[in-house]
Amino acid sequence: MGTVIDLSVTSVRSLNADLHALPAGATDSIRVLRPDGRHSLAAGLDRPVTVEIDGHAGYYCAGMNQLATVSVHGNVGVGVAENMMSGRVHVHGDASQSAGATAHGGLLVIDGNASARCGISMKGADIVVGGDAGHMSAFMAQAGRLVICGDAGDALGDSIYEARIYVRGSVASLGADCVQKEMSPSHLAELSLLLAAAGRAEDPSEFRRYGSARTLYHFHSDNAY
């Protein structure tokens, strides 16, 4: 049986210090009770531990995650799994804006909806959103995959580099230099793997793929003011 930490009697600082003090390679299971929207829960983990957060979390939950598996049985605030390097973060509710911002690796799963700027400047992570994603999602996304099982908001993929976006529902509008692209067998295969990894049952053939038209990569006089 794993450790149980109740945040109505233990501080976030103490929780995170205990998690950081675990020996390298530790595989402990920690259950966090009464998070009550507190910020920075389970941030900066670098051990293959499992953390279950039983309720809503605040800003930057599981930020900078490496190796750890963090599940939130509730909603999360701004910047869940921001700058994640590896591991897995699973939000069973909704996520606020900038989910997975700048994340380099790992898998972020959001069962509910993600708010604005989901995957902003993502650099290699995979993000699977079960519901809708808000406006400016995958803004300046450089690498990685963003899967949206619901609808995407305005300006999807604005100024995108080489990240790949898969959307099953409608797209309110595409951002600058983001275009719909062919769905090849290899894309269907990678999407199938992502959906399976996220525990989703959607049919990959129902998705469309979006990516960079690569017209902003080089200076063009028509883009100058």
Partner 1 sequence: MCGIAGLHLRDPELYPQLGALLQAMLGQAAERGTDAAGVGLYRDPPAGLSTVCVVDAPAGAVVPGADAVTMGQTTVFTASVPPSELEARVRLALPDAVLTSRGTHLSVLKGTGHPHALAETFDLASARGYQGVAHTRMATESAVTSTGSHPYSVGPDQCMVHNGSFANHATIRRALRASGVVFDSENDTEVGARFVAQQLADGADVEKALRLLCERFDGFYTLLVATSNSFAVVRDAIACKPAVIAETDRWVAMASEYRYLTGLPGISTARIFEPEPEVVYVWER
Minimum gap (Å) between residue 36 Cβ and partner 1:
4
Token pair listed for 160: 């995108």
**Which residue, among 86, 80, 38, has the nearest Cα to 62 in the 3D structure?**
80
Task: Kindly state the number of chain residues that form the binding site for partner 1, as judged by CB under 8 A.
Answer: 17
Please report whether residue 158 would count as binding partner 1 according to CB under 8 A.
Answer: no
Token pair listed for 178: 């983001």
**Contact with partner 1 (CB under 8 A): which of 40, 69, 75, 137?**
75
Task: Give the range of 9-17, 94-102, 161-169, 176-184 binding partner 1 by CB under 8 A.
Answer: 94-102
Minimum gap (Å) between residue 32 Cβ and partner 1:
14
**Contact with partner 1 (CB under 8 A): which of 40, 69, 71, 96?**
96
Please report whether residue 131 would count as binding partner 1 according to CB under 8 A.
Answer: no
Please report whether residue 82 would count as binding partner 1 according to CB under 8 A.
Answer: no
User: Which positions from 51 to 70 touch partner 1 by CB under 8 A, shown as an x/- string?
Assistant: -----x-xx-----------
- In the numeric block, the tokens 């609808």 are attached to 151
Angle at 158 between CA 157 and CA 161, to 5 degrees: 70
Please report whether residue 78 would count as binding partner 1 according to CB under 8 A.
Answer: yes
Please report whether residue 146 would count as binding partner 1 according to CB under 8 A.
Answer: no
| CB nearer partner 1, residue 31 or residue 73 | 73
- 30-36, long-range: CB within 8 Å, 24+ apart, which pairs? 30/2, 30/3, 30/4, 30/5, 31/2, 31/3, 31/4, 31/5, 32/5, 32/7, 33/4, 33/5, 33/6, 33/7, 33/8, 34/6, 34/7, 34/8, 35/7, 35/72, 35/74, 36/7, 36/8
User: Which positions from 33 to 52 touch partner 1 by CB under 8 A, shown as an x/- string?
Assistant: ---xxxx-------------
177: CB partners within 8 A, 6+ apart = 157, 158, 159, 160, 212, 213, 214, 215, 216
Minimum gap (Å) between residue 68 Cβ and partner 1:
23
Please report whether residue 139 would count as binding partner 1 according to CB under 8 A.
Answer: no
Which residues are at the interface with partner 1 (CB under 8 A)? 36-39, 56, 58-59, 75, 77-78, 94, 96-97, 115-116, 134-135
